[in-house]
């Protein structure tokens, strides 16, 4: 019997596009609309919801779980990467304060370390530890996982066998969604690239 995981990134946030790892920020009106539209699409199949503890994921996750009468499990493993000195900064602000670093990050994040940030190695270990817990605990269920762009990219790179150097090459828009299927003893497969996701 197959298990499935729907990866879902949160919607647009108040305050515009910034590097937010552990920072809390509310979904804006557009973000809520994006999420509700996606939920209506994914709701029929969802049997359990897993969420990052950050409110932009956890609040809709808990709302939806209550609405459908299913479990919602908050897992810290699926928080976004801690961006350290970049937390809360826009692209322009990072480029001014840290010349040339953002371009390097977007080309090959494995070749650098953001000041005071979680290392990419530690981020990978944390996320994949959580991922293995999901696959083991919910082997025959259809899971909806609400998370962040960095986590989304890391899981996809793992499934597709891509190097960490290519992590930023996946474009993950707000409310992007991808469906994965897995069977015990077999390689996890990407069943579908869906809206908001490209390479």
The domains located in the chain, with CATH, are 3-82+118-198 (3.40.50.1240)
DSSP state, residue 187: -
pLDDT of residue 199: 45
Q: For residue 48, give both structure tokens.
A: 């359990």
pTM, two decimal places = 0.90
Owner of token pair 């692209």 = 91
> What pLDDT sits at residue 184?
61
Residues 6+ positions from 98 with CB-CB distance below 8 Å: 85, 86, 115
For strand 177-182 and strand 3-9, is the pairing parallel, antiparallel, or unpaired? antiparallel
| Residue 3 confidence (pLDDT) | 80
The answer to whether 118 touches 109, Cβ cutoff 8 Å, is no
With a cut of 50, list the residues of the chain below it in pLDDT.
192-193, 197-199
3 DSSP β-pair partners: 182
């Amino acid at each position: 019997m197959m298990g499935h995981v729907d990866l879902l990134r949160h919607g647009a946030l108040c305050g515009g596009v910034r590097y937010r790892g552990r920072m809390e920020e509310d979904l804006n009106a557009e973000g809520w609309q994006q999420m509700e539209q996606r939920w209506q699409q994914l709701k029929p199949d969802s049997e359990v919801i897993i969420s990052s503890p950050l409110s932009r994921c956890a609040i809709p996750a808990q709302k939806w779980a209550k609405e459908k009468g299913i479990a919602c499990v908050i897992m810290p493993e699926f928080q976004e990467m801690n961006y350290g000195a970049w937390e809360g900064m826009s692209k322009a602000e990072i480029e001014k304060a840290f010349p040339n670093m953002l371009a390097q990050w977007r080309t090959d994040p494995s070749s650098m370390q953001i000041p005071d940030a979680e290392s990419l190695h530690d981020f990978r270990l944390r996320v994949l530890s959580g991922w293995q817990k999901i696959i083991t605990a919910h082997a025959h269920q259809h899971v909806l996982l609400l998370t962040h762009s960095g986590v989304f990219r890391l899981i996809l790179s793992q499934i597709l066998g891509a190097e960490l150097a290519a992590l930023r090459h996946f474009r993950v828009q707000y409310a992007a969604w991808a469906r994965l299927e897995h069977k015990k003893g077999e390689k996890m497969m990407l069943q579908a690239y869906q809206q908001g996701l490209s390479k």
